[in-house]
Amino acid sequence: MKPFFLFQRIGMLAFVLAIATSGLSAAPIDFSILTPNQIGFPGDVITFTGTIANNSGVDLDSTDLFLNFSGFDPVNVTLDQLLGLTPFTIPNGTTSPVEDLFTFTLGSSAGPGTYPADVVLQDAVGDISPTQTVTVTIVPEPGSLSLMAGGLSALIAGLFRTKIKNLLLLLLIVVAIGHAGFAQVSGVKFVSGTPGLATSGTTLMTATQLTNNGTVTATNVQVTGATLRTLTAMGSFPVTLGTVSAGGTKVVQANFNSSTLSQNTKYLLTIRGTYQVGSAKAGFSVNRFITLPVPSPGSDTVVTVSVPAQTVTGAPFPHRPPDMDNEVNFPRSPVPTGPFISGTQTPTTTGAVMPPGNGSITRNKGSPGRNCALQFGHRNRHHFSRNQLQSRSCASLLRGTQRCEQRHSHLRHGQLDGSLFDR
């Protein structure tokens, strides 16, 4: 088949596939990278740009979107999210203009070769995009090109020798091993949950759920560091998380000095680490925008909502069992572990206590015609005769001190040191 007709067939097939897949339901969020495969040199910082499609059902701000990276060389590659540093909004059902998404930094000692990385977009409501793979290829320096040219000349001169076949076979094996290693680690996709936040003095504590959204188990997972914009996490790293199976989760805590942070400002939290699949080792990093928790005690705006009255007709209704989700108490953000604060131990026993200092009133157990008695807590007992009170109702104390108090409200209170009440 002639090349022209071959390319024509391939073009027609691609067009048919595009038409066939256009009717499929779009992912809640997705992104497209303009130039996913680029060329660089050691030490280069390469910016990847692209567009974001929002079909999540709600409008999304740029700070509602997070990029997660995995499957890259942790020694020679560093990936940093740019998305969200410039504020913009993507209305539901639309696609954003071309925006800066992230930077791909090559280490100064990175050698010639192709450096891949998997990228996943995530939003604040939990939607996750399909995976995109980007690569940066380092080409040899000009001085190395001349050496390579001389080597190629010698190689061409020996094309008809039998050893060239073995050399080409060895080259293919090396390339295949490199691709097999990336295929192994690319089966792991780390994403993050909404961090739990707390403060203790000037320390901001964050607890982030790290989930393996891939298809293979990640072993020897380690967190090598965390940053909050320009702040570096306190404490020592790396922190070993161990094995995270496909669908499994671990909680990562990172604390920061929040003395320079401001309320109502969103800061990009980045957690970096490494993992293994078999003997292949790769890096990962996840991102989240967070804001400082409201200080306590504090205040916030009261939100009100109005619900119109509804009526139900047609009773009686047949019995129907309750319809509830499998998990009634939906999981929330993890709670950070704060410093230990000592306090007074709660008593473990209970018992009688002395009466209050303002006193209590008791009555004499005698007959109604005898003297009445008032007892005020720890004070002395005072006796009142019927003649002294000049009333026949003192005996009502035996039936209730409240009635006696009401009938003699005109009496002035005497001293409580033993003297009698008088009129």
Domain ranges (residues) in the chain: 18-142, 190-279, 359-423
Closest to 290 measured CA to CA, from 231, 348, 365, 357: 231
For the stretch 166-175, pLDDT in tens is: 544 544 444 4
DSSP H or E segment with residue 249: strand 249-257
What is the average pLDDT across 374-395? 46
Residue 25 pLDDT:
55
Dihedral (CA of 288, 81, 83, 229) sign: positive
For the stretch 114-172, pLDDT in tens is: 999 999 999 998 899 999 999 999 987 665 545 444 554 554 455 445 554 554 454 44
Percent of residues, the chain, with pLDDT higher than 90: 51
> With helix as H, strand as E and coil as C, how does 352-389 read?
CCCCCCCCCCCCCCCCCCCCEEECCCCCCCEEECHHHH
What number does CATH give the domain 18-142? 2.60.40.10
Identical topology for domains 18-142 and 190-279: yes
- Other Cβ atoms less than 10 A from the Cβ of 280: the count is 15
Give residue 185's pLDDT band: very low, low, confident or very high (50, 70, 90).
confident
What is 190-279's CATH topology? Immunoglobulin-like (2.60.40)
Closest to 210 measured CA to CA, from 192, 228, 187: 192
97 or 140, which is more confident:
97
Tell me the two tokens of residue 258.
């929040």
CA–centroid distance for 296 within its chain? 20
